Amino acid sequence: MHVAVEQLEVSQEISRVLCHTDLSVSSATSRAIALAILTSPDMMREVFQSRLATICADERIISHCRSSILKKRLGSRQVIAYRLSFKNGKGQTTKPVELVGKRYADGEEGERVFRTMQMLWEAGFSVGSQFKIPQPLCYISDLKLLLQERAQGSLLPRYVGRGDAVACDRMRMVARWLATLHRHDTIPEGIVSCEDDETSIQSFASRLGERYPHLTSRLEALASAIRERITPCQDIAFTLVHGDFHPENIFVTQDGATVIDFDQFCRSDPARDLGYLIAQMRTMAYRAIGSPDAPNRLIRVLLKTYLAHLPLADREAITSRIVAFAARTWLEDLYYIFCVLEDEGPALLVTGLQEIERFVKAATVQEVVS
């Protein structure tokens, strides 16, 4: 009965929007209704035809619009893929276009991310470069929808458990993409600094301690050790950082790398992105094949390639800071897995705590991945 009522509400909302051409999706709109609107072929075809001048040039008419939900997120964002088929003014079918739409509950956040992507696109992460982002097409404020081209290539997780020449070449592309971002010599206004690490680290440890009381003292000690390693980083010259440099946000080909998802983009220590990626690769390898050390060769390639872009005097310092952010990432992952997802995996919890200890005790990241 409940499902039937919800389906009726969704149908009524779509009918209302179609009748009144009211495309607004407010924060009060339910996820089901928002998704129904954003995946409606008729409605979205009209939206794209009227608002995407860059892809509807030369009198092209959108003949078909197909959609599929890419991610059903626990948080505030919904991600949808669109495939648009066209006919030109002569009625001839032209090449289809693939887009990705991200719907934000917070419209200001969506606008901020769109501006960030525009800035990076204009700074050279665009067509013709080896190191790209998806082209940002527009931000539709009444739908709270950011539209971008769909990234091409293979996701980095395909290579995480490998150490062959192809995988190493892909990893070099990733390192060079990141070094290019971190070398960006101007930080535009409106790019905020990262959130307070001390507060978040304490929160992660406290929540895990509530779920596993017998680990409280150990978690508090680890949190304190991470904070001590990160605190000195406050004196480091901040750069632009991706903030969520996860393997699943990185597409690679033999010719370059494309990175997506700039929701956490900010000013921070460049070691943050490196520590985050390294920890996520080790987490991913452990969950896939039972060994966090499996991607060590790729991580060494990442570090060697990235460090080659730094002055000699800066290389040792950043490798000593990377371990702090890798430890922080593992702590955050454990919090998310066990406190948010409420997963039950004691082996992962044990391994995660051991990983945090390895990182906070290491002088440099090379000690962990050698």
Q: What is the pLDDT of residue 59?
A: 63
What's the CATH superfamily of 154-369?
Aminoglycoside phosphotransferase (APH), C-terminal lobe (3.90.1200.10)
More confident residue, 26 or 230: 230
| Residue ranges covered by each domain of the chain | 2-106, 154-369
Mean pLDDT, residues 344-359 taken together: 94
At 90-136, the pLDDT tens digits run: 777 878 899 999 999 888 999 999 999 999 999 999 999 999 999 99
* Sequence-separated (6 or more) residues with CB below 8 Å from residue 100: 70, 79, 80, 81, 82, 134, 147, 148, 149, 150, 151
Q: pLDDT grade, residue 204 (50/70/90)?
A: very high
* Sequence-separated (6 or more) residues with CB below 8 Å from residue 255: 130
Q: What is the pLDDT of residue 21?
A: 44
CA distances from 270 to 3, 240, 278, 325 (A): 48, 7, 13, 10
Please tell me the pTM assigned to this model.
0.89
CB 178 within 8 A of CB 274: yes
At 260-273, the pLDDT tens digits run: 999 999 999 999 99
The C-alpha angle 365, 338, 357, rounded to 5 degrees, equals 25
At 186-203, the pLDDT tens digits run: 777 778 887 789 999 999
Collapsing DSSP to helix, strand or coil, 197 comes out as helix
| Total H helices, total E strands in the chain | 12, 11
Collapsing DSSP to helix, strand or coil, 291 comes out as coil
Helices of type H across 231-345: 271-289, 296-307, 312-335
Q: What is the pLDDT of residue 14?
A: 46
Torsion sign across C-alpha atoms 156, 127, 113, 111: negative
Q: What is the pLDDT of residue 233?
A: 63
Does the pLDDT value for residue 11 go beyond 80? no
Does the pLDDT value for residue 4 go beyond 70? no
